[in-house]
Structure formats: structure tokens, C-alpha cells
């Protein structure tokens, strides 16, 4: 049995429970032990091995993190998995941003917010990924328009990158424009594998 790791799910909005359940199931499938906690405070963030940032609304997410005074500290987490608004939060560059919108700027990706259009343009799609075929749900999703040299693509939908990863300075980031927590645990399992290496 490997040592146990502590994984936090940012718990202000979005699929918090779904991410907790997907992570728990992923750990079970991978025979790994981990503690999973909801994160809303500096204390809860302080000794995490990894953080999951769920979807939601990136501008609101930023404000809630700033109000809790954890936005800057999130940059210190070594392993981060962002989905949808979480991906926007990880990105170095965002287009179509709100006035005053900032990101953690950790991952070398350029992201267009709300690139598929309004909420009504949300969609579901079966598609192939490096981890097999999945059912992907896109909810007012962003598009990843550009990636840096060290960013690796794990799946595309038509020509759009929908999930990618980057190892940089000993840190690991995984970013999805869709919501894996709703339909599959394969990416949570993949994320855990990077943490337990």
C-alpha cells in the first residue's frame, strides 16, 4: 500500500460532490489511499498534495477565492486538476475576460471563455481520448486555443483541444474544458497516478 495523499476539492461552487465521488472511486479503482477534503479556507489549503478546481463561473470563483484569501496560496499547490472554469483559472492567458478578471496563470495555455456560445449551446458528445472513449459534457465551455511546447494533449473534439496536461518545475497541471466528473473516473485516476509517482 502506498502512502496516503491529501486531495482537496475547491468547494465554493460547481460539481464539488461529483468530484469528491469521482476521486474516491478513482482511488478505489487504483488501489490508492487518499484523504479527500472540501477546501474553503487557507488552513484547508495549507497541506494539500493536490487540488481539484471544479467548473462554475470563473469570475465568481476568483472573487470567492480572493474573499477567502486563498487565491495567491493556490499557486503553491503542486498538483492541480481544473475542469471548465477551473481550466480558465489555471490558464496563463484568457480571452473574452471580464473587467478585473485574473487567473492563477500556472499553465501555459490560452483559453477563450464561453467560446461555444451561450448556455443553450451546451452539448454532450462521445469522443476518443488517450484514455479511451468517453462521454463528454460541455457546459458553456471554454476552448483551449493555444498551448505551450511542454503542454501535452490528451483529447480533441474535432479540432479543439479539450483536455491537456503540463509538467512544469516539478508541478503537474491537468485541464479539461468539459466535465469528466459527471461521466467517467478515468481522468481522476490519471491525475492520481501523477501524484503518487
CA pair distance 3, 174, nearest whole angstrom: 22
Q: Should residue 101 be labelled a site residue for ligand GLN when binding is judged by CB under 6 A?
A: no
- Residue number of the CB atom closest to ligand GLN: 55
The minimum distance between CB 85 and ligand GLN, in angstroms, equals 3
Which residues form the catalytic set?
84, 179, 181
| Residues 67-96 interacting with ligand GLN (rule: CB under 6 A) | 84-85, 88
Query: Applying CB under 6 A, which of residues 19, 113, 143, 188 lies at the interface with ligand GLN?
Result: 113
144 binds ligand GLN (CB under 6 A): no
The nearest distance, CB 126 to ligand GLN, in angstroms, is 19
Is residue 78 a contact partner of residue 107, using CB atoms and an 8 Å limit? no
Please tell me whether residue 49 binds ligand GLN under the rule CB under 6 A: no
- Rounded Cα distance, 94 and 103, in Å: 8
Q: Does residue number 188 form part of the binding site for ligand GLN (CB under 6 A)?
A: no
| Residue 90: CB minimum distance to ligand GLN, A | 12
Considering only the C-alpha atoms of the chain, give the largest distance between any 2 of them, rounded to a whole number of Å. Answer: 48
Residue 24: half-sphere exposure toward Cβ, Cα within 13 Å: 9
For the chain, the 3-state helix, strand and coil shares in percent, each to the nearest 5, are 30, 35, 35
CB of 6 within 8 A of CB of 49?
yes
| Residue 129 or 177 with smaller CB distance to ligand GLN | 177
Confirm or reject binding of residue 143 to ligand GLN (CB under 6 A). Answer: no
Shortest gap between Cβ of 140 and ligand GLN (angstroms)? 4
Q: Give the start-end residues of each E strand in the chain.
A: 5-10, 34-39, 50-53, 79-83, 91-95, 107-112, 123-129, 132-138, 143-147, 151-157, 160-168, 171-176
Nearer to ligand GLN among residue 26 and residue 141 (C-beta): 141
List interacting residues with ligand GLN (CB under 6 A).
55-58, 84-85, 88, 113-114, 139-140
Amino acid at each position: 500500500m502506498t502512502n496516503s495523499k491529501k486531495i482537496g476539492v475547491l468547494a465554493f461552487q460547481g460539481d464539488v460532490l461529483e468530484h469528491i465521488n469521482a476521486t474516491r472511486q478513482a482511488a478505489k479503482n487504483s488501489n490508492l489511499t487518499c484523504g479527500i477534503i472540501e477546501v474553503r479556507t487557507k488552513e484547508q489549503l495549507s497541506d494539500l498534495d493536490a487540488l481539484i478546481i471544479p467548473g462554475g463561473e470563473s469570475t465568481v470563483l476568483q472573487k470567492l477565492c480572493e474573499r477567502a484569501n486563498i487565491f495567491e496560496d493556490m499557486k503553491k499547490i503542486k498538483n492541480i486538476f481544473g475542469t471548465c472554469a477551473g481550466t480558465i483559472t489555471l490558464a496563463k492567458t484568457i480571452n473574452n475576460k471580464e473587467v478585473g478578471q485574473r487567473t492563477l496563470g500556472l499553465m501555459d495555455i490560452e483559453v477563450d471563455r464561453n467560446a461555444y456560445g451561450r448556455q443553450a449551446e451546451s452539448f454532450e458528445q462521445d469522443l476518443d481520448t488517450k484514455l479511451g472513449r468517453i462521454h463528454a459534457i460541455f457546459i458553456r465551455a471554454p476552448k483551449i486555443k493555444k498551448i505551450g511546447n511542454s503542454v501535452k494533449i490528451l483529447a480533441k473534439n474535432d479540432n479543439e483541444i479539450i483536455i491537456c496536461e503540463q509538467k512544469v518545475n516539478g508541478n503537474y497541471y491537468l485541464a479539461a474544458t468539459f466535465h469528466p466528473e459527471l461521466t467517467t473516473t478515468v481522468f481522476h485516476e490519471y491525475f492520481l497516478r501523477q501524484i503518487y509517482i
